[in-house]
Amino acid sequence: MFCKANLVPVGQDQLPHLEIARLIARRFNDRYGQPVFPVPDALLFSRGRCCSHRRHQDEARAAGNTIPLSASADETAG
C-alpha cells in the first residue's frame, strides 16, 4: 500500500492477502474522507501460484539476475 500501486502481481495463493490490503485501503480512505491509498487489483501470474521466496532467490542467483546491495550506480545502470 505504501507504493500506492493500482495493480499488484500475485499468484492465486496470495489473493487472500491482497483482499486484506484492499479492505484496509477502503477503511482508511473512508475514515479520512479522501482517497489516500488506491484500492489495488490483482494481476495474476499465469502459473497461478508464486514460488517460494527461497526458491526464487536461488533461481535468480543461478540465472545471474541478482543485483547486490553493494553495487555501484554504474553497475546498476541498464
One digit per residue, the tens of pLDDT, for the chain of length 78 reads 888 889 988 888 899 999 999 999 999 999 998 889 999 999 887 764 555 555 666 665 666 667 778 888 888 776
Residue 10: Cβ within 10 Å count? 19
User: What pLDDT is attached to residue 42?
Assistant: 92
Cell of 58: 536461488
User: What pLDDT is attached to residue 11?
Assistant: 86
User: What pLDDT is attached to residue 26?
Assistant: 94
Cell of 63: 540465472
CA–CA dist 12, 9 (Å, integer): 10
Enter the pTM of the model: 0.57
Q: How far apart are the first and last CA of the chain?
A: 27
